[in-house]
Amino acid sequence: MDCIFCKIVRGEIPSNKVYENKNFFAFLDIGPVNRGHTLIIPKKHYKNLLEMPEEELKGYMEAIQKVSKAILQGVNADGISINMSNEPAAGQVVMHAHFHIIPRLKNDGLKLWPQSRYKEGEAEEIKNKITNSLE
Ligand code: AMP
Ligand code: ZN
């Protein structure tokens, strides 16, 4: 498949591999937010989390935890942020599922999310829209 991350899994494009097992592959992001910023991907091509079958998810989370602990210790970080963009509107650029595992340092100055406040009654309305859409 003509996908940059599929090519990385197959070794057709070089990467700095951090970890791999039967189903998952982790490698350094080429443009790190902080040193040690790692991408962890399923070896099989899925567009993003929304398209992944349930049976892949347990193993994915286990691999994410394993790699997160290694990053924390390996680069002597103070914390870990885990982020995934799903769909271009959310900032997804590479259309092969990937979590970013980002080592965080005290006072690294990163502010991820500008927050807002709900108006009176709005939170309940939004909550109902979401719960009514649960499958
Ligand atoms: P996203 O914006 O969430 O789709 O993230 C895509 C990420 O892939 C970016 O952080 C890029 O720096 C990273 N990236 C793109 N090409 C490569 C590559 N060849 N090796 C490592 N990381 C890459
Ligand atoms: Zn792919």
Q: The tokens of 63 are what? A: 């691999």
Phi, psi angle pair for 38, to nearest 5°: -125, 145
pLDDT at 24: 98
Question: For a pocket test of ligand 1, which of 10, 15, 29 has the largest count of ligand atoms closer than 8 A to its C-beta?
Answer: 29
pLDDT in tens, 42-90: 999 999 999 999 999 999 999 999 999 999 999 999 999 999 999 999 9
pLDDT confidence bin for 1, thresholds 50/70/90: confident
**Mean pLDDT estimate for the chain:** 97
Q: What is the pTM of this model?
A: 0.96
Q: How far is the CA of 73 from the centre of ligand 1 (A)?
A: 23
Q: How far is the CA of 95 from the centre of ligand 1 (A)?
A: 10
Which pLDDT value is given to residue 111? 87
The DSSP letter of residue 28 is E
What would the DSSP string read from start to end of 46-57?
-SSGGGS-HHHH
Q: How far is the CA of 61 from the centre of ligand 2 (A)?
A: 19
Please name each of the domains of the chain with its CATH number.
Answer: 4-133 (3.30.428.10)
Look up residue 124 and give its DSSP letter: H
Residues within a 6 A CB radius of ligand 1: 4, 13, 15, 29-31, 39, 85, 91-94
Indicate which ligand has the atom closest to the C-alpha of 51: 2
